[in-house]
Amino acid sequence: MSYLLENWYWLVAALASGGLLLWPQIKGGVNAGLTPANAVHLINREKAQVIDVCDAAEFAAGHVVGAKNIPLDTLTDKVKGLPGNKTTPLVVVCATGARSTKAVAQLKTMGYDKAQVLAGGLKAWREANLPVEKTA
C-alpha cells in the first residue's frame, strides 16, 4: 500500500491514459457509424441501399449517388422508398450524421436491423472525395 501512496502519480497517469483510449468508445458508442470507405464496401459488396434523411431542398443541393430521399419527419413503416426486405443493409445519410442517428434508431424499431449511420454524414462523404450528385 505504501508503494501506491509513494507513486500515486504513476497510478494517475495510467488511469488517464486508459481513459483517453476508451473515450472514443464511450463518446460514440460501440456502433458509432460507418466510415465512407466502409459504406462504399457495403454498397458494392452487399448491395446496401443509401437512404438520405435530409429535407428535399438539402437533398436536391447534393446527395450520395443513387440515394433515396426519405426526410426524417416522414420516416414511417408506410413510407415509399424503403426496401420491402428488412434484411437489406441500409446506409443512412444526412448532412452531418445527427439526423441519421435518429433515423437509424427509428428504422431498427421498424425491423431494419442492418441500418447503419454514415459517420460524419454527407460532409465526410465529400471529404473522402466520393461522388455526389445534384437534383435539378
- Tell me which residues are annotated as active site: 94
Q: Which candidate, 47, 51, 64, 32, places its Cα nearest to that of 92? A: 51
Q: Which candidate, 71, 68, 66, places its Cα nearest to that of 131? A: 66
CB 51 within 8 A of CB 90: yes
The cell numbers describing 9, all together, are: 502519480
The cell numbers describing 43, all together, are: 454498397
Rounded CA gap, 15 and 8, in Å?
Answer: 11
Tell me the DSSP string of 10-32.
Answer: HHHHHHHHHHHHHHHHHHH-TT-
Looking at this protein, which amino acid is placed at residue 49?
Q
